[in-house]
Chain A
Amino acid sequence: MKQDYLWNKTGADPEIERLENLLAAFRYRETAAPVVPLEQNIVSIETEPRSRFSFSLPLAFGAVAVSIAASVVLFYSTHPVPVADLTMAVASPTTGVRTESPVLHSENFNEIKTAVNDDKNPQPTTVPRAAPAVHRVKRNTRPQIFTARMSKDENPPVVLSKEEKYAYRQLLLALSITNEKLRVVGDTIKRTHDEKDLNRSRNR
């Protein structure tokens, strides 16, 4: 390819000439600039400086926050939150050793107030809350304060995971068996002493 022909069209370059002929339809043709009719009113618009501060966004956020707070206060003032007394279910071992449920011996056992968070029997856990709210009834009256009813039980329920429940049950099981065997030891010692005393009294 000869660069002179491409630069200032001197000389001859058949390849370039062939391309020019092929693309002749798209060749640039210089024409006069279009004339804009005078009937069209062109008004120059002066752009106003944009205000640096806008009240719209903070107002929106504030409105949303106030509405959420009002709805929460209204909800808890009209729906007192109860706290259910739940006993921790002690599941019996899965391998045939039967353990008596503490529910059956409720008169002997103290109930441990825990919330059972079991996947099989999901139970809602609730927490007692006191939500004082100020509610204006009339302009000229004193504000009335509504408080959510507290549960009688002041001990909040404890939520235990499966692992925690298993660990605690295993510990209680081990302690129970230890207690039982220590009682056997005590009873055996006592029985042995009684037998010895009996034998002595007979020999006399």
Chain B
Amino acid sequence: MKLSNKTIFAGLLIAIFLAVGIHAQDARLHFEKLNGLELRARDVVEVNVDGKLLDLAKRVSTKINDKDGDAQKVAHAISGLKGIYVRVYNFANENEYNMSDVDAIRSQLSSPGWEKLANVRSKKNNQKVDVYTMFAGDVMSGLAVVISELKSVALVNVIGTIDIETLMELSGKMNIPKIDVEHDSAKKPKNDKE
């Protein structure tokens, strides 16, 4: 079948857009495999901030006027942020979760686009720390942190640009709440995205 020039051109354009779209979505990790951890964990913290929720939060951060301008610093630090996803699982006993579930998340970081920033293994608490970044040109487009210990697993996935230095500087300010999980809780409290 002989294709016209227009058809070929349209097909090339579609292929380019698809490639860009796929590349843009690569920074998002898929946490579906962690459902098993959720069932066994004593405490679960799940936070998803993206889309309209993130836009709303950005608008709020620009509206707030505090004396020191910290809110404005936060607004500036997250101006390029497109999404932030957090999962924290705490277990009552050691080795209560399946390490293969966490390794499935780590395997996503071996796909093209992700660059290893830090890879630390410590015998203390059998701690494994992985930090990966993704760049689109000179601009960071993604950040992934995977921390697994004997009794806890933590994953952070940031999509877009985030000024980490400013955020570290503001840590402890801006009413950023401390997360203090009660150790004597008999229930399995869960902080879902809703």
Contact = CB atoms under 8 A, between A and B. Distances in A.
A64 interface: no
Interface in B125-161: 127, 129, 131, 145, 147, 154, 156, 158
A171 B57 contact: yes
Is chain A's binding surface mostly helix, strand, loop or mixed?
helix
B67 interface: yes
A177 B145 CA distance: 11
Contacts of A171: 49, 53-54, 57, 61, 78, 84
Given A96-B182, A171-B78, A176 B177 contact: yes
A97 B84 contact: no
B-side interface size class: 35 or more
Contact of A93 (B68, B120, B191): B191
Interface string B161-186: 00010011001111111111110010
Interface string A105-118: 00011111110000
Interface string A175-199: 1111111111100110110000000
A163 interface: yes
20 contacts: A95-B190, A95-B191, A96-B190, A112-B71, A112-B174, A158-B64, A160-B63, A164-B56, A167-B53, A167-B57, A168-B56, A172-B176, A177-B88, A177-B179, A178-B86, A179-B171, A181-B154, A185-B120, A188-B127, A191-B122
A182 B49 contact: no
A156 B56 CA distance: 20
Given A173-B179, A175-B84, 11 more contacts: A97-B181, A102-B177, A170-B57, A171-B61, A171-B78, A171-B84, A172-B174, A173-B47, A174-B47, A175-B176, A188-B120
Given A99-B179, A191-B124, A110 B67 contact: yes
Interface string B78-120: 1000001110100000000000000000000000000000101
A100 B189 contact: no
A84 interface: no
Interface of A: 87-88, 90, 92-93, 95-102, 108-114, 155-156, 158, 160, 163-165, 167-185, 188-189, 191-192
B179 A188 contact: no
Contacts of A185: 118, 120, 129, 131, 145, 147
A96 B147 contact: no
B147 A172 contact: no
A96 B187 contact: yes
B56 A174 contact: no
A185 B117 CA distance: 11
B23 interface: no
B32 interface: no
A187 to B, nearest CB: 10
A19 to B, nearest CB: 82
